[in-house]
Amino acid sequence: MALLPILRYPDPRLAKVAAPVEKVDDGIRTLARNMAETMYEAPGIGLAATQVNVHKQVIVIDVSETKDDLLVLINPQITHRDGLQVGEEGCLSVPGIYDKVERAEHVTVRFLDMDGQPRTLEADGLLAVCIQHELDHLQGKVFVDYLSQLKQGRIKAKLAKQARITA
């Protein structure tokens, strides 16, 4: 397994829409395992392939306290959403930045598992937020896209300053 470099906002590659996975094969399974290792190391609770510059519809999520409940969703699609929740979100591609985002409280998602088998999952709370957040990445959206232009400008400036300091 290998750690993958995570793209940082406002990298234009984060805006690229991911293509569906044609076949769940060893290459996709290796990608998912490497993404999981990268997510756990970061540390985070979700990671989309887009964030590691692979533009395929693959996401990994683990919202468990013990970090032993990995969920891999390939070609995920939300088929139902209801309710409303507003919560503070962060992102491995936007390190150190957190802000409130409005999301559905409950979602139903259809996806393929690591064996290429179709699955359906109903989620609420943090898992529902994480699924929606990661699916946004596959559509080329980052959570800061939901914020005002003023906040987006401030975030870009802050991240640019952080990059200069660590360079």
Confidence grade of residue 144 (pLDDT, cut at 50, 70, 90): very high
In terms of residues, how long is the chain? 167
Q: Considering the chain, what percentage of its residues have pLDDT values greater than 90?
A: 94
How far is residue 141's CA from residue 156's CA, in Å, rounded to a whole number?
15
| pLDDT given at position 50 | 98
> Residue 39: its pLDDT value, please?
98
110-131 pLDDT, tens digit per residue, is 999 999 999 999 999 999 999 9
Phi, psi dihedral angles at 160 (to 5 degrees) = -65, -40
Q: What was the pLDDT predicted at 166? A: 78
Contacts of 80 (CB under 8 A, 6+ apart): 106, 107, 108
Classify domain 12-166 at the CATH superfamily level.
Peptide deformylase (3.90.45.10)
Active-site residues: which are they? 134
Look over the chain and give the mean of its residue pLDDT values, rounded to a whole number. Answer: 96
The answer to whether the beta carbons of residues 121 and 109 sit under 8 Å apart is: yes
Q: What is the pLDDT of residues 97-110, one digit of tens each?
A: 999 999 999 999 99
Overall average pLDDT of the 49-74 stretch: 97
pTM above the 0.85 mark?
yes
Amino acid 165: pLDDT:
83
Domain residue spans of the chain:
12-166
Best CA proximity match to 106, nearest among 125, 89, 88, 78: 125
pLDDT of 1 higher than 90: no
Q: Which residue do the tokens 């290792």 mark?
A: 37
pLDDT in tens, 83-97: 999 999 999 999 999
